[in-house]
Amino acid sequence: MKKLIFILFLFILIPVITNAQALYYTENFEGLDSFSLPQGWIKKNNVPVEKYPFANWTVRDSGLCLPNITCSPIRHSRCSQGLKAIDVTWGTSILTDTTANDNCDAWLITKKFNNIPSDGFFTFDACGGSPSWCDSIQIWVSTTDSNLSSFTNYLGSIIWLAGSLYGDFASQFYDISAFAHQNIRIGFRYVSSNSDGYVVMLDNFQMFGTVGISQIGTNIPNSFALHQNYPNPFNPVTKIKFDVPKNTNAKIEVFNNLGQVIKVLQDGYVTAGYYETDFNATNLASGMYFYRLTAGNFVETKKMVVVK
């Protein structure tokens, strides 16, 4: 009864939240085949040998047989909406024809999301379910790279107990505001142990939040411009303003004194207007840094100083 109340609450809550915060990334796996993943996404299998690579996270149409699962109409691949979803089965643990590892440890890792909004969160639809076996996935975050050892931030787990309804997708919600102004990857870790394990499917992954930049006013500037950050010097947050006289792609990058990119504050299409964004240097040492605006053929770089 408590689970039913929670699910009903979640379905009520998500539309309210998404009306307040913009959807800035969505992945529904449509248009991909079983040999492809969304751009920037990768999968890894933390076992010595992968006997059945298509048992690991694979995009499939609905209504198909699944690796290492007895094929029948009630056990076909499913999706939450559209025609496709991505799934993983217990076959990821099979090492040879006669040997199975005790544990599944298969990872689906998203692309890197830059400059997470201070009100950021993500949602996705997930299902498991089997008459006899348990399944689960863990959700992790890396703030550095895609190495499995870098996923040190645990967000939670979803567990499907034996007897859960097969193919019953439910919406999931995870708050990532704790990673505001950081660059992250999200890892879905499929885990099962001993005799457990069947199949898990994901669909309709979405990122929400007030992203990157804010438009200031409704006027249109006469020319491109990158303004001096304010305050400067600063600790730990400063504002960066820039002007865009026409619709274009705009990128704001921050560099250290070695010329290495340490933060991408904005990278995407913008309409003509005046903009500002915040840069948070909480995790940076004192010193001189550089920020650059690239918009069409316009490129300009300025200095800023962190003092702690």
What CA–CA distance (Å, rounded) separates 165 from 275?
Answer: 49
What would the mean pLDDT of 1-21 be, rounded to a whole number?
42
Q: How confident is the model at residue 210 (pLDDT cuts 50, 70, 90)?
A: low
CA distances to 102, 212, 264 from 268, rounded to whole Å, are 44, 10, 11
Tell me the pLDDT tens digit for each residue of 140-193.
999 999 999 999 999 999 999 999 999 999 999 999 989 987 889 999 999 876
Beta bridge partners of 275: 215, 242
Query: Is the confidence at residue 133, as pLDDT, over 50?
Result: yes
The class level of CATH for 2-208 reads: mainly beta
Domain ranges of the chain: 2-208, 214-306
Q: What is the largest CA-CA distance in the chain?
A: 71
Tell me the pLDDT tens digit for each residue of 72-131.
888 999 999 999 999 999 988 887 655 555 678 999 999 998 878 777 899 999 999 888
**204 touches 81 (CB < 8 A):** yes
| Fold adopted by 214-306 | Immunoglobulin-like (2.60.40)
The model's pTM is 0.67
Tell me the pLDDT tens digit for each residue of 195-204.
688 999 999 9
Residues 6+ apart with CB under 8 A from 99: none
At 38, list the tokens: 């969304």
- Other beta carbons less than 10 A from residue 253's beta carbon: 18
What CA–CA distance (Å, rounded) separates 179 from 117?
Answer: 8
What are residue 203's phi and psi, to 5 degrees? -155, 160
